[in-house]
Amino acid sequence: MPHRLELIGITKRFPGVLANDNVSFSVKPGEIHALLGENGAGKSTLVKMIYGIMQPDAGEIVWDGQRTVIANPKAARALGIGMVFQHFSLFEALTVLENIALGMDAKIPARELEARIRAVMTQYGLLLDPHRTVATLSVGERQRIEIVRALLLDPKLLIMDEPTSVLTPQEVEQLFEVLRKLAAGGCSILYISHKLHEIKALCDTATILRGGKLVDTCDPKAETSRSMAEKMIGAGLKDIVRAPGRTMGAPKLVVSRLSTKKSGHFDVPVDGVSFTVKAGEIFGIAGVAGNGQNALLDALSGEILGEDKDAITIDGYPLGLLDTTGRRKHGLCAVPEERNGHAAVGDFSLSDNSILTARNRLHMVMLGLINSGAAKTYTGKVIADFAVKALGPGSTAGSLSGGNLQKFIMGREILQRPTVLVVSQPTWGVDAGAAAAIHQALVDLAAEGSAIVVISQDLDELLALCDTLAVINAGQLSEAQKVGEVSVEEIGLLMGGVHGTSEARDAIPA
Amino acid sequence: MEMLIPIIVTLVGAATPILIAALGELVAEKSGVLNLGVEGMMLVGAIAGFVAQFYTGNPYLALLCGAFAGAAVSLIFAFLTLSLSANQTATGLALTIFGTGLSALAGAPYSAKPIALMAPLFPDMLARDPFWRVLFGYSFPVYFSFFMVAAIWWFLKRTRTGLILRAVGENDHSAHSIGYSVVGVRYAAVVFGGAMAGIAGACFPLLLTPQWAESMTAGRGWIAVALVVFASWRPLRLLAGAYLFGLVMTMELYAKAGGGVLAIIPSELWAALPYLATIAVLVLISLRRDASTNAPACLGKPFMPAN
Ligand SMILES: Nc1ncnc2c1ncn2[C@@H]1O[C@H](COP(=O)(O)OP(=O)(O)OP(=O)(O)O)[C@@H](O)[C@H]1O
Ligand SMILES: [Mg+2]
């Protein structure tokens, strides 16, 4: 049987980087093929060439046994290649239906398209209202649009660039069912992810890239997550090191009855959330996406202005009425989940992005003038300490690969030594080695006496990192529990719990 | 009622060119291109329309010439901003200055030479009764403007091409990564906007004052640009807005002519009113939430694909 897709000597150069260096491998029909590598290894670049967004500088693409030039995404779709992007290619002001229609080449009447979308959504259990505007959807829901859009094309090769980084465990399980069904029907799948246990569960073959070169091919089922991570990095993987006999100090961050209003836009508001984080403690907030995490982060960071000054206090000092800048001055720094456009400005240099959040804490502004030397030095330190792959402080944030930008943003906040750090999805899209480094940095920061709040959907991450854990559901926070005293099942129940019980309650006749 | 008819007729005459030009600009802006050269394109369309009418006496041909002239100068704008990624604001301003100068130069030999006004579209007998005249007494561009309001609404809302156009204005990079030609769509939208501005310009000699005068569009191109924002990029609101401004301008004319109560306010103030109204309405609209969210997210930003 001929290979579905064969790459021969693909090379792609960007100014200053060789993103792909003579990469050759092939994918069989019905095969689920993983593409692994560190942040910036060139995975996204490689699949963009397969999908016709970019052209290789050298090398050939062979499709179903025939040499092909894939001039643009339309040509790729005509061949039967579908793609789910790492950074969404969605139009926020348009509806789900319109977004999907834009990805279809055939002209299909809106009504028929809607029927087909609903059919695919029910078939694969991906639920969405086709008439919602994308701007009002959560990140996880947006991802579903991309997946539905790709599935509607009946692809022969489906490329997924980190599709699960924002999905809940249940959603991931569902997606895997979908992918296995597709593969059983003969569709090949090229799957990029940093979550190695997913690769083990799903993929038949794995191709590993490092620095743009193909370094290894392996059978993920015969490997451990650790051995694959070490192949990617080309070195041993470090475990989180905690100083023995750590003690926690006095309560640092006290949040009491914090609520936000429903803004009509985005997500669920938070409703009477209270918790306390002690000095040196890492406090985890688990929960299924879209349960008020965004509102909680915005309310803590000061992006949503509060009405009660005592709702948030640090060392007893009320911060509730301050804005983002005021809270940063008092030691509360935050990292939102959306890194492009929210945590960083893509068109700005890294140095300018540092100034945006670190200007007051690190005295980068004097008498209204920017001290660009200080900003550059600081940015250089972030790049070095967090092993960010970038040409230097002058490169624009938008030119970094997804994971590298995340490393930069985390580093920028952690090195400011905040008293309280609130982060959302700290390792979203970050490779195993870098994730370990970020986790270690958070643990070290806590050891120095900072209070840390980690909002994440990745339960494994929270269990490995946190001292205390609470679950957010429909805007309400559960009791905090000590990690180690609580089982994964209990947390899982809490994550889905309130929905389940309220349904059950509704079902009981009055 | 009898007294109102001339007012309504003047109002329609004042509103029509603004509406046509604004519809063209709306389409261009929906694709993400801010073309501030509307005034210049209108003037070029005006002189082209005038010259065609002067030599052929065929007003339809004159409108067509206006459209072609407007489209031609808009191509210069498109080339500079889309192919060479020049700054859209600066290029648009330059286009207005260029269009003003070019039309003045081309129009110099024609000053004080009258042409025929465009005749009403429907036969006289339909428009004899005053009431029917309000409906059937106008020439082609008036009906054309109404038709275009509906057509553009339908195009943007209901057709696939319209959807692609909105998508390009909303997120150029996503549109590019799905495989649409951002620059191609924007070229088409800008040229359409230019043609509409040209037609709007040709309306001045053909409907309003049947001779050539330098800068005869008198800043209406700017009102058209403002109107697009005021209408939050919605064709039906554009219609309402154009007629609101038409009304204020008509009142200005009556005030100048010394028409009773209107004369209490000095005519200079009347002349400023349409502009004041623009500002007032803009402020009011911007207080509303949905107005800003309807703005094309990529408006005015040059598109440079990664590769
Ligand atoms: N448009 C571009 N211009 C310049 N350099 C680029 C561009 N796109 C990617 N690069 C560079 O090419 C390299 C490979 O990037 P790529 O996005 O393919 O990495 P990746 O393997 O997908 O990483 P991640 O896991 O973080 O998504 C990186 O060094 C990146 O900075
Ligand atoms: Mg990538």
Q: What domain range is B123 assigned to?
A: 4-287
Handedness of CA A488, A490, A496, A500 (dihedral sign): positive
CB B24 within 8 A of CB B197: yes
Predicted confidence at residue A507, as pLDDT, reads 34
Contacts of A367 (CB under 8 A, 6+ apart): none
Long-range residue pairs from A167-170, CB within 8 A, at least 24 positions apart, any chain: A167/A140, A167/A143, A167/A289, A167/A457, A168/A140, A168/A288, A168/A289, A168/A457, A168/A495, A169/A457, A169/A459, A169/A492, A170/A288, A170/A496
Query: Is residue B299 one of the residues assigned to a domain?
Result: no
List the single residue in B173, B178, B294 with the smallest CB-CB distance to A102: B178
Global confidence as pTM: 0.76
CB B194 within 8 A of CB B71: yes
**Measured from the CB, is residue A400 less than 6 Å from ligand 1?**
yes
pLDDT over threshold 90, residue A339: no
Q: CB of A266 within 8 Å of any CB in chain B?
A: no
Task: List Cα–Cα distances, A430 to A48, A237, A339, A386, A482, in angstroms.
Answer: 19, 14, 12, 12, 27
CA distance B306 to chain A (A): 8
**Residues within 5 Å of ion ligand 2, judged at the Cβ atom:** A 44, 86, 402
Contact B167 A55 (CB under 8 A): no
Contact B174 A91 (CB under 8 A): yes
Q: What is the mean pLDDT of residues B238-251?
A: 87
Query: Is residue B295 one of the residues assigned to a domain?
Result: no
Domain boundaries in chain A?
A: 5-233, 251-500
Tens of pLDDT, residues A194-239: 888 889 999 999 999 998 999 999 999 998 888 888 888 887 777 7
**Measured from the CB, is residue A433 less than 6 Å from ligand 1?**
no
Contact A91 B167 (CB under 8 A): yes
CATH code for the domain in which residue B213 is found: 1.10.3470
Q: Provide the percentage of residues in chain A whose pLDDT is more than 70.
A: 93
Cα-based angle B256, B260, B265 (whole degrees, multiple of 5)? 55
**Cα(A106)–Cα(A126) distance, integer angstroms:** 23
Contacts of B233 (CB under 8 A, 6+ apart): B26, B29, B30, B294, B295, B296
pLDDT over threshold 50, residue A125: yes
**Measured from the CB, is residue A404 less than 6 Å from ligand 1?**
yes
Nearest atom within ligand 1 for CA of residue A15 = 4
Cβ-based contacts under 8 A for chains A and B: 55
Q: What is the mean pLDDT of chain A?
A: 86
Query: Is residue B80 one of the residues assigned to a domain?
Result: yes
* Dihedral of the alpha carbons of A473, A478, A480, A485, in degrees to the nearest 10: -90
Handedness of CA A314, A319, A320, A324 (dihedral sign): negative
pLDDT over threshold 70, residue A165: no
Residue A276 DSSP SS3: strand
For the domain A251-500, what is the CATH code? 3.40.50.300
Q: How far does residue B194's CA lie from ligand 2's centre (Å)?
A: 41
CA distance B38 to chain A (A): 26
Element (H, E) at A424: strand A420-424
**Which residue has tokens 């590993």?**
A208
Q: What is the mean pLDDT of residues B249-267?
A: 74
Tens of pLDDT, residues A36-73: 988 888 999 999 999 998 999 999 999 999 999 999 88
Interface test with A, best of B177, B233, B304 (most A CBs within 10 A): B177
Cα-based angle A227, A232, A237 (whole degrees, multiple of 5)? 55
How would DSSP label each residue in B54-94? HHH--HHHHHHHHHHHHHHHHHHHHIIIIIS---HHHHHHH
Q: Which residues of A touch B160 (CB under 8 A)?
A: 101, 107
Contact A91 B171 (CB under 8 A): yes
Q: What is the mean pLDDT of residues B98-127?
A: 89
Task: List Cα–Cα distances, A350 to A368, A390, A399, in angstroms.
Answer: 20, 9, 10
Tens of pLDDT, residues B57-77: 999 999 999 999 999 999 999
**Cα(B169)–Cα(B176) distance, integer angstroms:** 11
**Measured from the CB, is residue A427 less than 6 Å from ligand 1?**
no
Tens of pLDDT, residues B174-230: 898 888 999 999 999 999 999 999 999 999 999 999 999 999 998 899 999 988 988
> If 0-12 CB within 10 Å is exposed, 13-18 middle and 19+ buried, where does residue A127 land?
exposed
Contact A102 B177 (CB under 8 A): no
Predicted confidence at residue A510, as pLDDT, reads 33
Task: List Cα–Cα distances, B179 to B125, B168, B231, in angstroms.
Answer: 55, 11, 31
**Cα(B295)–Cα(B282) distance, integer angstroms:** 13
Q: Which residues of A touch B293 (CB under 8 A)?
A: 93, 135
**Cα(B25)–Cα(B39) distance, integer angstroms:** 11
Determine the residue type at A118: R
List the single residue in B163, B174, B293 with the smallest CB-CB distance to A89: B174
Residue A258 phi/psi, 5° resolution? -80, 125
> Which of A12, A23, A44, A207 maximizes ligand 1 atoms within 8 Å of its Cβ, making it the mutation to test the pocket?
A44
**Cα(A13)–Cα(A294) distance, integer angstroms:** 37
Contact B177 A93 (CB under 8 A): no
Nearest CA in chain B to A74: B179
Residue nearest atom 11 in ligand 1 by C-alpha distance:
A19
Element (H, E) at A254: strand A251-258
- Structurally, chain B folds into a number of domains equal to 1
Q: What is the mean pLDDT of residues B94-122?
A: 92
CA distance A313 to chain B (A): 33
Element (H, E) at A18: strand A17-27
Residue A164 DSSP SS3: coil
Determine the residue type at B222: W
**ipTM confidence:** 0.79
**Cα(A84)–Cα(A28) distance, integer angstroms:** 20
Q: CB of A407 within 8 Å of any CB in chain B?
A: no
CATH architecture of the domain covering A5-233: 3-Layer(aba) Sandwich (3.40)
Query: Is residue B293 one of the residues assigned to a domain?
Result: no
Q: What is the mean pLDDT of chain B?
A: 88
Q: Which residues of A touch B173 (CB under 8 A)?
A: 89
Nearest atom within ligand 1 for CA of residue A389 = 29
Residue A256 phi/psi, 5° resolution? -130, 125
Residue nearest atom 8 in ligand 1 by C-alpha distance:
A399
CB atoms within 10 A of CB A321: 16
CB A140 within 8 A of CB A290: yes
Considering only A92-96, B120-124, B217-221, which range has the smallest mean pLDDT? B120-124
CB A337 within 8 A of CB A139: yes
Q: How far does residue A49's CA lie from ligand 2's centre (Å)?
A: 13
Asked, colleague to colleague, whether A5-233 and A251-500 share their fold, the answer is yes
